[in-house]
Amino acid sequence: MKNPSDYYLISVPKELLSVLLTIKEKTPKEAIFLAPPDFEYFHLIAERPILVSFKEFPQLPHDILEWERRLLLLNGNKKFTERGFKAAAIVGKNFHNLTLEQLLNIKKEYNVKYYLSKTSDRKNLVRLFGNNYWSLYEIKDK
């Protein structure tokens, strides 16, 4: 580690760290990403904005409604049956199975360009790079 403040890098699996560092190096800074909402270190390492995060909980009522709406989108528009960490685990699973139509709708509404997923066989998406565990896709219109 070059900087002592980078202590959090120790806890990031190397397969994920390599993808996040590549995102930092090879994507536009202003690009918005779909990343698993339970990632607490995406924006710290990749230095890119994400659509929504569990950890970055808003404070104002209208912002809370938008935060929940975005989480529902990443949950495949399935209503939450659980709360807290159980809900986070469910969204974490459903996030990696979003359909092309769902991804395109999110892209259109929020100008999201990239999708970081554990799924490596998304034939209907352009895979930019990744490894055996993670893939970064560009979400392109049909």
Mean pLDDT of 82-108: 91
The burial of 18, by beta-carbon neighbours within 10 Å (0-12 exposed, 13-18 middle, 19 or more buried), is given as middle
Q: Other CB atoms closer than 10 Å to residue 126's CB: what's the count?
A: 11
pLDDT tens digits for range 49-93: 999 998 888 899 999 999 999 999 999 999 988 888 888 889 988
Look at residue 5 and tell me whether its pLDDT is greater than 60: no
Rounded Cα distance between 69 and 63, Å, is 10
CB 99 within 8 A of CB 84: no
Mean pLDDT of 102-117: 96
Cα radius of gyration rounded to whole Å, the chain: 15
Read off the pLDDT band of 141 (50, 70, 90): confident
Percent of all residues in the chain with a pLDDT value above 70, rounded to a whole number: 93
